[in-house]
Structure 1
Amino acid sequence: MNDVCDSALAAERAPDISVSTITKSGTDKPAIPLVVYCLSLGFFALTTSELMISGMLPSLQLAFDRSIADIGNLISLYAMGMVVGGPLVTILFLALKIENKRGLLFLLIFYALAQSVAASTSNFEVLMVARVVTGMAAATSFGLMLAITAQLVDPSIRGRASSLVFAGLMICTVFGVPAATMIDHAFGWRASFWAIVVLVLFCALVIALKIETAPEGKAADLRSELKEMARPKLWAAYTTSALVIGSSFAAYSYFSPIMTELSGFTSAQVPVLLAVYGAGNILGNYIAGRFADRYTFKTLATGISLMVFAMLLFACLPQSKIAAVAAIIMIGLTGIALNPALVARVMRIAHPGALVNAMHASVINIGLAFGPWAGGLAISSGLGLNAPLFVGFGMALAGLLTILPRALRNV
């Protein structure tokens, strides 16, 4: 009953749907417009741009004559831009009353320009600045993409629609980063950067042609969005998201050395296992998206519980190949694959505007940065190579505790 009330309230607060129809022909079932898949492609392009540095370290090190650590910082700079710049840029857009579609188009074009500078430069400092700037644009773009998705679909299927948008992130880990690495090997690192420019501009073109601009007076209002941000339940939901995503990356960041040095897999087998993990992300994202709208807390409770068990299993039995494979599959099916349910929870608590979603992306990135850092600190403190798995277990357990009381009430 509460789910129905929440959906009705969300529908009452939601802006007008900006597509001509939201139902499948001949039925009354809400449909997801094809343009949502373009927004998924946008997620794919921007997250591939963030993470592809990991597969291009040797090329960039050679091109700029920098250490591996310096090149690795290019990922951190992008994330830092997302954490700090995303909410600030979003607040600026709201203060200027820039409508969501226009704001997203501006950001995507700006992103393409900044990425073009990164692809063209031979100056490492310029590349660093470009990474921060593109990170800022990406975070705000994510918020606007999710806000537009919420406008395009019926409130009853926002979680499912969000899962399609987030599928771009999942596919990035399986295809995007490997593809960028292959392009780098075949044509050089600059070609990978230019490929992102082409994808981003294509998304901008489709959005310009296929998404209607909100009517006059429908632009988001800064005061109302800041009022939404004052909800304590919203920050509780943000905390859960940060803990869950941070937990998954605390483990994922150290999968390779754990699998080779503790579990006994060969280096040649690691990419296969990571592909299995990525496939689990895609499947888990699909499953979570199907249940996120009607069973938000049950989906979260089930997924995080499985994640807690998998982390503990892997941490306690890292020498067992069977336990390692089982844990990798379970962590793949949960973790970042729970994003649709995490987003659905946020959208039930607050109006799904750009600031709410941009802040969600920023908080998630804080968790994403904290998990690997805490895992690395645990290793350097002499707690063993499996210590990041215990860190992941602790973060996942904390995330479970934040939603367990509500889940037990069958809300």
Structure 2
Amino acid sequence: MPRAVYLLGLAIFAQGTSELMLAGLLPELATDLHVSIPAAGLLISAFAVGMLAGAPILAVVTLRWSRRTAMLAFLAVFTLTHVAGALTSSYGVLLATRVASAFVYAGFWAVASVTAIELAGPEARAKAMSVLVSGLTVATVVGLPAGTLLGQHLGWQSAFWAVAGLSVLAIAGVLATIPGGRSATTPELRAELRGMANPQLWLAYSTTALMISAILVIFSYVAALLTETTGVPAGWVPVVLALYGVGALAGTTVGGRTADRRPFGVLAVSLSGLGAAALVLGLGAGTPWIAIPAIILVGTFGFAANPAVNSRVFAIADSAPTLAAAFNISAFNVGITVGPWLGGLALDAGTGYSAVGWIGAGLALLALGTVPLARRAAYRRARTEATSALRSAQNSGRGLMEKARR
């Protein structure tokens, strides 16, 4: 794997820390900003909304930019929004900075995905994407607990300053490893739009959105669930989050090593495991020795599916890699938006935090239901391509025979 792919993973770590860290700071944010915990949870959804819109818009706007220029511009804006977020005490301003930072983060993800896959080659799509996703899982292991500790002891603003500093380091990494100039194959917008018409692509996006919703409906409220329902002291929340991140990193690694060969098998196993872990959490949310392992397994199985869904998109849309990557990021953020929203609705209805486990189990089951549909569609596509290739070979053979007779 080229060194630049790992540096892109580090850049995702810097930005992913911001994406995740609010899950461990909801009680502090709610108290300091004088809002409810579900309202503070909307800051997570606002980030997802920014990513949902940012990925396709910025993919089109920067289609003919050099990839290094685009990524540097996105990182610079991301840094500035976190400085602004650290300096404000207004819920509305913080909400706006979350949307703006997510907008450019989505653009970075889209461009970085295409760059990593181009550098790694088509035989290692899932491995390249697992490196990028590992940046996010390392953010869960290191960035999220560290951000939670900073927020608990130095105020939530300190976590924003830390992310701004990490983003500056990411800028230096991109400058050092990503070559300047345009790609050898400049994307064409019309060709990209034609490639997006493939129904298999949208089925893959639905799998992604449902899977991420199942993870995020639990993850967004995990700190409050642990302290208010499970009875874990607040000081232990960063430890549980770190263990969740270790599980996510293990899942990403295993999924990345096997998804290039068995994408549908990885999806079936990981989504089944995700649903089972969420169900156990719903049943045993009030018991620490049940709830904590279930939370860790949600991270393990949920992130194991990530390389498979990512590489599947690029395998389907090889003629539209930039827009396919952008809409894949949007699909992720549909899930990130819907998951916390559904959890907030359940909490506002007075169901208690165990409800997020039940909702997560239902969403994982829906995601699992898309896998056999995708497998059949892939089989039909492969059979059609094989038939077309056979006919082409037969026609070429007939042409050669005619020439030989003449």
TM-score norm. by structure 2 comes to 0.82
How far 1:111 moved relative to its partner?
2.2
Find the counterpart in structure 1 of residue 51 from structure 2: 82
Q: Partners in 1 of 2:179 and 2:349 — Cα distance?
A: 55
State whether residues 83 and 365 of structure 1, in contact with CA within 8 Å, keep that contact through their aligned partners in structure 2.
Answer: yes
Q: Would you tell me which structure has more helix in proportion to its own residues? A: 2
Deviates more, 1:370-379 or 1:338-347: 370-379
RMSD: 3.0
- Secondary structure of the residue that 1:48 maps to in structure 2? helix
Is it true that 1:375 corresponds to 2:343 in the alignment? Answer: yes
Q: Alpha-carbon deviations, 1:140-169, whole Å to 9, x = none?
A: 111111111011112111101111111111
1:403 counterpart letter in structure 2 = V
Find the counterpart in structure 2 of residue 67 from structure 1: 35
- Secondary structure of the residue that 2:2 maps to in structure 1? coil
How far 1:272 moved relative to its partner?
3.6
Q: Partners in 1 of 2:89 and 2:81 — Cα distance?
A: 14
Stretches of structure 2 lacking an aligned partner (at least 5 in a row): 380-406
Find the counterpart in structure 1 of residue 325 from structure 2: 357
Task: Report the structure number with the largest CA radius of gyration.
Answer: 2
Query: How does 1:9-408 map onto structure 2 within 5 Å?
Result: 32-56=1-25, 66-68=34-36, 72-94=41-63, 97-121=64-88, 125-184=92-151, 189-215=156-182, 218-256=185-223, 258-259=225-226, 269-318=236-285, 322-351=289-318, 353-381=321-349, 383=351, 385-407=353-375
How far 1:82 moved relative to its partner?
1.0
How far 1:262 moved relative to its partner?
5.6
Deviates more, 1:101-110 or 1:125-134: 125-134
Misfit runs of 4+, over 6 Å: 408-411
Find the counterpart in structure 1 of residue 401 from structure 2: none
How far 1:116 moved relative to its partner?
3.2
Deviates more, 1:259-268 or 1:284-293: 259-268
2:315 counterpart letter in structure 1 = R
Q: Partners in 2 of 1:274 and 1:378 — Cα distance?
A: 23
TM-score norm. by structure 1 comes to 0.81
Q: Partners in 1 of 2:257 and 2:346 — Cα distance?
A: 37
**Judging changes above 3 Å, is the alpha-carbon distance between structure 1 residues 84 and 44 closer, same or farther for their aligned structure 2 residues?**
same
How far 1:118 moved relative to its partner?
3.3
How far 1:287 moved relative to its partner?
0.6
Question: Quick one: percent identity of the two aligned structures?
Answer: 35
Deviates more, 1:189-198 or 1:118-127: 118-127
How far 1:234 moved relative to its partner?
0.6
How far 1:48 moved relative to its partner?
1.4
2:277 counterpart letter in structure 1 = A
1:144 counterpart letter in structure 2 = V
Find the counterpart in structure 1 of residue 402 from structure 2: none
Aligned residues: 377
How far 1:259 moved relative to its partner?
4.9
Find the counterpart in structure 1 of residue 385 from structure 2: none
How far 1:81 moved relative to its partner?
1.2
